[in-house]
């Protein structure tokens, strides 16, 4: 599809326009489409848009976990392939994802894992098909790229939540069930000790994902945002100075000035290194204290065993006193 074609889509659904981070022209515009939730007996398609699942036993474990929710599982044609460090070529990974959206026997879609590769398939995705066949899409980490592009080009609300190969703790299962299966306007309460950076309450559109992926998508047409965002981020394996560098980039691009609240999830296996450094909390305070917006850290979002299922593009409230995010709209249709 040509870039100009995306401006043609208005459609029914909700009326919140989205614009890419750092793009003052506000292109592309799309209206939100909230997909139907999943119910026992539905089929969830498992696709690999990025990295490889090396252990074939993992596919059996994914199937067993999703069957606990009463779901049938359908694997993509190329999901077990290997091509360098990708699960198939760019064309094969895009084909699987396009087919999952167009396949009437598939009710929802989940990524088997993250890694790297989602950004490479973006020009090969058929956003017409995605918009005309709205379905739950769940995943995190590198899937941040897909969440933002779905919202920007198809208006599709998708779900930053477990991948197939996630640990699936009780909390992870609980919120996947609440949000995607039961469609509750859930309040996300972490089991971890949430720390306050700036106190207060705020409302806004929930947008975010992996900080590294979000930052590297800056300046492209595929990254969606909105004014008055509650921005959530998480990361893995990054030193503190790199977190500082990425937040500085978001600040210089004008992103942090446009948000109404901030949630830092987990920074899993992140370290200060051996050099003199700031703590993660100090870095967050340096960037967020001057903004005066409500902000928390250490929420159960990310690469740890506990991982919320968060709808991208819906209105939420942030309450630092409770350390919680609460949905203000139904997460599924």
147 is catalytic: no
First-to-last C-alpha distance (Å) of the chain: 27
141 is catalytic: yes
Active-site option among 87, 154, 190, 234:
234
Pairing of strands 201-210, 315-319: antiparallel
Q: What is the CA radius of gyration of the chain?
A: 18
CA–CA separation, 131 vs 157, rounded Å? 10
How many Cβ atoms from other residues are within 10 Å of residue 286's Cβ?
13
Active-site option among 141, 149, 260, 324:
141
Q: How far is CA 78 from CA 149, 165, 225, 308, in A?
A: 22, 17, 31, 28
234 is catalytic: yes
CA–CA separation, 234 vs 221, rounded Å? 22
CB 87 within 8 A of CB 51: yes
CA–CA separation, 222 vs 17, rounded Å? 14
CA angle 194, 196, 202 (to 5 degrees): 105
DSSP state, residue 177: I
CA–CA separation, 241 vs 238, rounded Å? 8
Residues with catalytic roles: 141, 234, 303
């Amino acid at each position: 599809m040509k870039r100009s074609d995306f401006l043609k889509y208005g459609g029914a659904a909700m009326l919140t326009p989205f614009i890419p981070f750092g793009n003052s022209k506000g292109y592309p515009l799309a209206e939100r489409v909230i997909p139907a939730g999943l119910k026992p007996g539905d089929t969830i398609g498992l696709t690999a848009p990025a990295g490889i699942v090396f252990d074939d036993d993992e596919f059996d474990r994914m199937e067993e976990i999703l069957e606990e929710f009463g779901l049938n599982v359908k694997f993509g044609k190329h999901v077990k392939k290997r091509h360098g460090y990708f699960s198939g070529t760019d064309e094969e990974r895009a084909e699987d994802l396009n087919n999952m959206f167009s396949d009437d026997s598939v009710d929802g879609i989940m990524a088997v894992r993250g890694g790297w590769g989602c950004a490479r398939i973006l020009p090969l995705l058929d956003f017409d098909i995605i918009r005309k066949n709205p379905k739950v899409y769940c995943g995190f980490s590198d899937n941040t790229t897909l969440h933002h592009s779905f919202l920007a080009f198809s208006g599709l609300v998708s779900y930053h939540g477990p991948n197939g190969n996630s640990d699936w703790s009780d909390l992870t299962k609980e919120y996947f069930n609440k949000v995607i299966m039961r469609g509750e306007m859930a309040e996300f309460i972490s089991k971890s000790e949430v720390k306050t950076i700036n106190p207060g309450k705020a409302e806004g559109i929930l947008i975010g994902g992996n900080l590294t992926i979000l930052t590297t998508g800056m300046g492209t047409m595929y990254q969606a945002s909105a004014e008055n965002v509650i921005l959530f981020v998480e990361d893995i394996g990054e030193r503190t100075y790199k977190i500082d560098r990425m937040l500085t980039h978001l600040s210089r691009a004008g992103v942090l000035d446009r948000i109404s609240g901030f949630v830092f999830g987990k920074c899993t296996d992140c370290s200060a290194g051996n050099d003199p450094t700031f703590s993660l909390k100090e870095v967050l305070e340096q960037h967020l204290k001057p903004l005066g917006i409500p902000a928390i850290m250490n929420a159960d979002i990310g690469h740890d065993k506990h991982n919320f299922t968060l709808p991208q593009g819906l209105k939420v409230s942030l309450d630092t006193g409770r350390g919680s995010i609460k949905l203000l709209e139904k997460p599924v249709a």
